[in-house]
Amino acid sequence: MSDLIARVAVAAPLPQALYYRIPESLSQQARVGARLRVPLGRRQVVGYLLGFTDQPVARLKDVLEVLDREPLFHESMVAFFEWAADYYCHPLGEVIRTALPAGLSGVGKGPKILSESFFTLLLEKEEPRGAKQRAIVDYLRQHGATPLTQLKEQFGDVYGSLKRLVEQGFVTEDKKERNRDPFAAVPLTADCPVEPAEGQLVALQTIEEALAGNDFRPMLLHGVTGSGKTEVYLRAVQQALKLGRKALVLVPEIALTPQLVGRFRARFAAEGARLAVLHSGLSDGERYDTWRTVARGESDIVIGARSAIFAPIENLGIIVVDEEHEGSYKQGDGFRYHARDLALLRGQMLGATVLLGSATPALTTFYRAQQGQSEYLPLADRVMGRPLPTVELVDLSEQRPEGVLAEPLRQALLENLERGEQSLLLLNRRGFAPFLLCVDCGATVRCPNCEITLTYYQQQRVLRCNYCDFSLTPPDTCPVCHGNELAPEGAGTERLEEELAELLPAANIGRMDRDTTLRKGTHQKLIDGMASRRIDVLVGTQMVAKGHDFPGVTLVGVVNADSALNLPDFRSAERAFSLLTQVAGRAGRGEKPGRVLIQTYDPEHYVLSCAAGHDYRSFYDEELVNREMLGYPPFGHLVNCLLAGNDEQRVIAAAEGLADAWQELADGTTVEILGPAPCPLSRLRGKWRRQILLKAPSRSALRHLLNHFKDLRSRVPAGVTATIDVDPIDML
């Protein structure tokens, strides 16, 4: 019998898969999708079994152990992982390690599998003697196999009685696997589906035709805020399930998952559809249990954040990407994939419908729809004929605020509170003030690890870096001139909260930012407070704009719209328009109309005028001209190479050497090499940073250069890392 040879992706930075011999003792256990313990040099590492080959390979090492009783992914996922690794220039083994639940990266067996005792009545015998034993037997006769926890709830302390019943042959005890369900306690959201509006019906008809055709159909559901996109998702998933297929629903933020889970459970509970939730915020055990449940085919609908795109779902009929424009779908480090783009790839591989939804689609997504590369499904009106909120631009050069809030917004807040209506304020800066300023010499207190100022937190009386978390007690004197007056400059959410408390002393004010939502459950508590109307005014960073549905909010205020417009990133206008439109869309979603006030020093800016008019198309047309002029997406493709290290001069030299080598390769091609240049955040967490931007009108031209990256990276000196980011969305 010839040896069984396995193709294995090891969890190490290697560009290709390796081959190992599978000993005969392990041949029955080795299945595609299982983790293996394999030797690599002098150490042992985790490998992932991708397949088998009959071709003889010389000098093979043996697989040492098969770590999983059941495969963690299906054979159909192998091509998906390989494409992603190739496209994003990332080692295949590390791609798979990123995709799998945390806790499976070591050579151990992974998180513990929990089990629970189930008790079943055997053949009828004479009645047991004890009263509690007879009651348990009667209960099992009516309910069948019952878990121990349920019997404890019914009868209290039952262990002794059950032990005697087992010994006497009345019942049998079996151990069954018990899954950890982090969303078991999520309340069912009231589900009162209304008759779909005309736009929703047209969209659903197109989606149902695609599902029936069983072929890949990308679609853009472009609906204004409050237009009922979630209802379309629910009905589209319902149709997929009717056809015997399964569904994957992606949301941009972990914090939004409980709300959507509540909606889906309410809709599908009666139909018996099995729902699973996957995201990185779960414990290792919770994610492991859910992953295995999905892999066994025991879930019909999977809901999750970015990482759920790798869920091992077979027979997938539809993938929904809610708020597809959100940057959080892009992984920011390591394997820098974009979940929306991988959703389109996975749909293409499986012949599934891919539904991208947004009120403010990414420019590239809308462009593809306009070019006929995906189907365009517009929802132009809010549900039940509700009007979009009126938007007013408050010119701060004419209405100079004494503190953070100009008079029009102050007055609107007072009136809204008097009417018993809720308000929401956006200020996309944490802390009390962005920095402390010496009034004598103008110096600021800066982070020793990053090239930025330290944010001042007045409640804690601390200066903190919002990138590396370095903190110190505010100094009494200026570190430069030793002057003894340091003043907080600018405003953050903490300062805004303080000003509101003075303006509205009777109001219940909530603050939603990273600092107030770190502890588990605090984010949901704020959402519940808004839903129950216990909170009168909610203040926050961009977290407040993320898809929340608060029917009681009739006033939205944007405290400083200009801060989002002046970032050194070609996508800053797109992000600003999206943020303003999304936060404005929180107003007037209930029975009463909404009003939005945007404070700015530049009311003529096209981003602000388009946002005020709810005019996505005009913004798109204007921004498209700028993109085409500069060759940026969707008219070009980008790859960013980031070099970082502790020694600034070594980083500079490495960046220049790599840029020169790429320039030689790019000569005579359409690829443009920009840089090297310091990153806008030139030092971060103690590392000096330089970037090289590769730009080309086609992906194929960039592929030619990227194919040489593995060789070029070997020339980068020790102490400097070179990282590739394909299709970057963050240039800071």
pLDDT of residue 282 exceeding 80, the answer is no
190 vs 330: which has the higher pLDDT:
330
pLDDT of residue 257 exceeding 50, the answer is yes
273 vs 672: which has the higher pLDDT:
672
Residue 356 CA to residue 250 CA, distance in Å, equals: 10
Residue 610 marked ligand-binding: no
Torsion angle, alpha carbons of 156, 157, 158, 160, to 10: -170
Work out the average pLDDT over 277-283.
74
Residue 447 marked ligand-binding: yes
Residue 663 CA to residue 694 CA, distance in Å, equals: 10
State the architecture of 115-177 in CATH terms: Orthogonal Bundle (1.10)
Residue 235 CA to residue 238 CA, distance in Å, equals: 5
Residue 465 marked ligand-binding: yes
Q: Would you state the pLDDT for residue 14?
A: 87
Residue 481 marked ligand-binding: yes
Q: Would you state the pLDDT for residue 127?
A: 74
Q: Would you state the pLDDT for residue 505?
A: 94
Q: Which helix (H) or strand (E) holds 249?
A: strand 246-250
Most confident of 131-135, 202-206, 459-463: 202-206
Same fold, 198-384 and 386-432+491-626: yes
DSSP letters of 174-203?
A: EEEE----TTTTPPPPP--PPPPPHHHHHH
Report domain extents, the chain. Answer: 4-99, 115-177, 198-384, 386-432+491-626, 637-726
518 vs 637: which has the higher pLDDT:
637
Q: 637-726 has which CATH code?
A: 3.30.70.600
Q: Which residues contact 441 (CB under 8 A, 6 or more apart)?
A: 478, 480, 481, 483
Query: For 410-431, how does the pLDDT look when each residue is reduced to its tens digit (9 = 90+)?
Result: 999 999 999 999 999 999 999 9
Look-up: residue for tokens 């299982």? 34
Q: Would you state the pLDDT for residue 154?
A: 77
Q: Would you state the pLDDT for residue 668?
A: 86
Largest CA distance in the chain: 95
Residue 306 CA to residue 375 CA, distance in Å, equals: 23
Average pLDDT, the chain: 89
Work out the average pLDDT over 190-215.
88
Residue 267 CA to residue 262 CA, distance in Å, equals: 9
- Under a CB-based contact definition with an 8 Å cutoff, are residues 670 and 699 in contact? no
In this prediction, what percent of the chain has a pLDDT beyond 90?
Answer: 61
Q: Would you state the pLDDT for residue 169?
A: 78
Work out the average pLDDT over 221-243.
94
Cα→Cα distances 295→27, 76, 289, Å: 22, 12, 10
Residue 404 CA to residue 394 CA, distance in Å, equals: 13
Residue 89 marked ligand-binding: no
Q: Would you state the pLDDT for residue 20?
A: 95
Query: What residues form DSSP beta bridges with 696?
Result: 637
Residue 450 marked ligand-binding: yes
Burial of 589 from C-beta contacts in 10 A (0-12 / 13-18 / 19+)? buried
516 vs 621: which has the higher pLDDT:
621
Which phi and psi angles does 320 have, rounded to 5°? Answer: -105, 130
Work out the average pLDDT over 445-450.
93
Q: Would you state the pLDDT for residue 57?
A: 77
Work out the average pLDDT over 301-308.
93
pLDDT of residue 186 exceeding 80, the answer is no
Name the packing angle between helices 493-503 and 407-418 (round to 10°). Answer: 60
Specify the range with the lowest mean pLDDT, choosing from 104-108, 344-348, 625-629.
104-108
630 vs 151: which has the higher pLDDT:
630
Q: Would you state the pLDDT for residue 548?
A: 81
pLDDT of residue 16 exceeding 90, the answer is no
Q: Would you state the pLDDT for residue 506?
A: 93
Q: Would you state the pLDDT for residue 136?
A: 82
Specify the range with the lowest mean pLDDT, choosing from 121-135, 196-210, 287-301.
121-135
Query: Is it true that domain 4-99 has CATH number 3.40.1440.60?
Result: yes
Q: Would you state the pLDDT for residue 1?
A: 47
Work out the average pLDDT over 701-723.
87
Cα→Cα distances 680→450, 567, 573, 677, 690, Å: 11, 9, 17, 9, 9
CATH among 3.40.120.10, 3.40.50.300, 3.60.70.12, 3.40.50.1950 for 386-432+491-626: 3.40.50.300
Q: Would you state the pLDDT for residue 726?
A: 96
- Under a CB-based contact definition with an 8 Å cutoff, are residues 689 and 678 in contact? yes
pLDDT of residue 341 exceeding 50, the answer is yes
Specify the range with the lowest mean pLDDT, choosing from 145-154, 236-245, 456-465, 679-688.
145-154
Work out the average pLDDT over 148-172.
79
Residue 679 marked ligand-binding: no
In this prediction the pTM is 0.87
State the fold for domain 198-384: Rossmann fold (3.40.50)
